[in-house]
Amino acid sequence: MSTESTPSEYMLLFRNAGQWYRDLSPDELQKFTNQWMSWYDRLAAQGKLTAGRPLAYEGKIVSGKTGQFVVDGPFAESKEAIGGYFLLSVETIEEAVKIAQDCPGLPYGVKVEVRPIAARCATRETVEAELAQAQA
């Protein structure tokens, strides 16, 4: 029997703290950018980072029963808008949290949300269970 554990996927969502960078000098901003890229490169070299990208500020929100409403968005407060993500392949959520705690943006008010990637859609599992129970 193998005792090796299988890595799981976790997503780090970076919530922007608004215009925090406006108070930084060009040198400070360059130092921050270098720290962020070093963190990214280190995680990638360790095989823990499988993807990561910033998100554009603009986008669209689609809603309504048939998707008939399409509006500019997102409308979250700028300090809560998701500014980017990392997709991690690590052993535990604790390891993902430890990585999040090293985020160079934390001192500037960036928040990091750590979310496990589900193997299946929870809604689908619920519906399937309810159908099975109704048929029993």
In CATH, what number is assigned to the domain containing residue 87?
3.30.70.1060
Provide the domain limits for residue 112. Answer: 8-135
74: tokens are 């997102």
| Domain contains 64 | yes
Distance of CA 49 to the CA centre of its chain: 12
The pLDDT > 70 percentage for the chain reads 88
87: tokens are 């997709």
| Domain contains 48 | yes
- Give the mean model confidence (pLDDT) for residues 77-96: 87
- Supply the pLDDT for residue 65: 92
Domain count, the chain: 1
> At 104, is the pLDDT very low, low, confident or very high (cuts 50, 70, 90)?
very high
| Domain contains 14 | yes
| Domain contains 62 | yes
Render the burial of 45-71: b for 16+ CB within 10 Å, e for the rest.
Answer: eeebbeebeeeeeeeeeeeeeeeeeee
Helix (H) / strand (E) containing 49: strand 49-54
| Domain contains 1 | no
- Res. 135: pLDDT tops 50: yes
Taking only the tens place, the pLDDT of each residue in 48-81 is 999 999 888 788 888 899 999 898 876 655 557 8
| Domain contains 3 | no
